[in-house]
């Protein structure tokens, strides 16, 4: 076996191992030269992107990948499994991570001076935790990576502004600990009644004991724990402060990825640990999730209107947007599930772009109050064009990614005969127009009284490039949604709902 073939056989685990090793080596790289960690983290994320892209292509062409750690056969050993669902999510993690890494250099110099090397080290460990949560086929190993991702997210938020970041991080720590406790209890209950921790093995063992109250309690614990992790209303209390007070780079990666991986975990446990019959017919958990998501869509949008801080507005908007993902899953029909899964990609692109723009505005002006953005469109035209595209995507204007996923969700709601959800989707789009129009009005039509001191038109090129790429993808996947839908999401939806093979 050649060296290349040997590496190819270990690509599934390299998606986790590479950012882990890179994270631990970052302090050494920074000790050699404080300018090097930025290049180091970009290199690491680029390699991880190549690995995850290769893994997804292998799944599309050849089927699910199974990787046995240490050569131990499951269910006794830990197994990494890459299928269409987590291959898709892993690629999103790697891509968003790379974009944020490119953007981060100048932003971190402004917002966390002297802490860039520790920030990059923790950032890579966060990527490690998210990758591990996504790839593992063992529920206790999932919990270990959940704790890694949570602890690193707390650390990144704590580096935020004026001490407020520490308070926000502590609040997140409390809520995150409660969520993790619920999830660990659910894992313990399933292990107590099955003696197994392997997801595929659990899916085979659980149907015979679905009437057990222990299994029902486990499902309830999982759903509550993951609802806290994704910030589903009314369990969202940690999210607004965390997104608002974290450094802009941290806000972008946490908003772009953390809640998406939480949504992935909810989907994985609902359909790959339990079964569609259990969550749809026996417990009606899918209906409960759909109604909770619909409530989150409206409440998140209404709360966003009341904000004047741009990052806080985007934070409440995220509460609404995560509702779209969970609504699609709760509809449990083909087109609705496709819309929910597609919104994982779409929201990662839109919301990451918006938080990067907010960071660029703060970098150039020191302003976050959206009523002080008067005339900023003329001062920072490229940055504000990115904001315009991403905001129009959030609203759901045709030709953007937001329209595609909302269209699928509306069709899924009609197919499920839940016309109220169609109304809620339309109402949310109108509410999105309300809170984004205030920004449009100020940046394009306001007078630049507050920012006349600004000498340079745009943020540095390293900040502009990833923002422009994300904005371009908001349009590309809006016009060519066929590619993710045809190659990944259509077969994946069939598999999740039990209409096709294992995803």
Exposure class string for 346-369: b at 16+ Cβ within 10 A, else e: bbbbbbbbbbbbbbbbbbbbebbe
pLDDT score, position 456: 54
- 260-275 confidence digits (pLDDT tens): 888 899 888 888 888 8
CA angle 19, 181, 23 (to 5 degrees): 10
Which pLDDT score is estimated for 162?
Answer: 66
Q: What are the sequence ranges of the domains in the chain? A: 285-503
- Pair 443, 375: CB distance under 8 Å: yes
Q: What average pLDDT score do residues 224-248 get?
A: 84
Residues contacting residue 482 through CB under 8 Å, at least 6 positions apart: none
User: What is the percentage of the chain residues whose pLDDT exceeds 70?
Assistant: 94
- Tell me the whole-structure pTM to 2 decimals: 0.91
Q: What is the pLDDT of residue 46?
A: 93
Whether the predicted pLDDT of 167 surpasses 90? no
CA nearest neighbour of 87 among 341, 406, 269, 400: 341
**CB of 289 within 8 A of CB of 416?**
no
Span 158-169, average pLDDT: 76
Q: Note the pLDDT tens digit of each residue in 351-386.
A: 999 999 988 888 888 788 878 777 777 788 888 889
Supply the mean pLDDT for the chain: 85
Residue 243 · residue 255 · CB < 8 Å: yes
- pLDDT at position 238 is 79
């Amino acid at each position: 076996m050649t060296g290349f073939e040997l590496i190819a056989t270990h690509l599934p685990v390299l998606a986790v191992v590479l950012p882990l090793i890179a994270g631990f080596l970052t302090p050494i790289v920074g000790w050699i030269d404080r300018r090097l960690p930025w290049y180091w983290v970009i290199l690491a994320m680029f390699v991880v992107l190549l690995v995850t892209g290769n893994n997804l292509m292998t799944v599309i062409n050849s089927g699910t990948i199974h990787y046995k750690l240490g050569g131990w056969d499951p269910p006794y050993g830990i197994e990494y499994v890459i299928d269409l669902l987590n291959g898709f999510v892993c690629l999103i993690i790697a891509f968003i991570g790379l974009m944020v890494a490119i953007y981060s250099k100048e932003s971190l110099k402004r917002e966390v001076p002297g802490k860039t090397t520790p920030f990059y080290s923790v950032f890579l460990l966060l990527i490690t935790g998210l990758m591990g949560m996504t790839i593992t086929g063992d529920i206790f190993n999932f919990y270990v990576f959940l704790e890694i991702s949570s602890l690193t997210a707390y650390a990144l938020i704590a580096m935020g502004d004026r001490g407020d970041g520490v308070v926000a991080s502590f609040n997140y720590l409390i809520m995150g600990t409660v969520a993790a406790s619920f999830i660990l209890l659910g894992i313990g209950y399933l292990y107590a009644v099955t003696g197994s921790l392997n997801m595929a093995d659990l899916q085979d063992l659980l149907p015979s004991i679905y009437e057990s109250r222990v299994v029902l309690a486990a499902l309830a614990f999982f759903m509550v724990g993951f609802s806290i992790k994704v910030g589903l209303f009314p369990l969202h209390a940690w999210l607004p402060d965390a997104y608002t007070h974290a450094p802009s780079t941290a806000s972008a990666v946490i908003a772009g990825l953390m809640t998406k991986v939480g949504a992935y975990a909810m989907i994985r446990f609902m359909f790959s640990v339990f079964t569609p019959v259990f969550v749809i017919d026996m417990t009606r958990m899918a209906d409960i999730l759909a109604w909770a998501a619909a409530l989150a869509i409206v409440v998140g949008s209404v709360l966003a209107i009341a904000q004047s801080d741009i990052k806080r507005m985007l934070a409440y908007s995220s509460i609404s947007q995560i509702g779209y993902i969970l609504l699609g899953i709760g509809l449990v029909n083909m087109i609705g599930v496709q819309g929910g899964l597609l919104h994982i990609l779409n929201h990662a692109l839109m919301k990451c772009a918006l938080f990067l723009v907010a960071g660029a505005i703060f970098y150039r002006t020191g302003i976050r109050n959206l009523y002080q953005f008067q005339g900023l469109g003329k001062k920072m035209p490229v940055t504000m064009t990115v904001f315009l595209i991403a905001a129009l995507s959030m609203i759901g204007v045709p030709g953007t990614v937001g329209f595609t996923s909302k269209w699928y969700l509306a069709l899924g709601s009609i197919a499920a005969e839940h016309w109220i959800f169609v109304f809620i989707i339309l109402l949310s789009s109108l509410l999105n127009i309300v809170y984004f129009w205030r920004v449009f009005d100020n940046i394009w039509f306001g007078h630049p009284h507050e920012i006349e001191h600004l000498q340079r038109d745009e943020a540095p090129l390293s900040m502009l490039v990833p923002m422009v790429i994300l904005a371009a993808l908001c349009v590309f996947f809006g016009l060519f949604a066929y590619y993710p839908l045809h190659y990944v999401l259509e077969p994946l939806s069939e598999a999740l709902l039990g209409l096709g093979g294992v995803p």
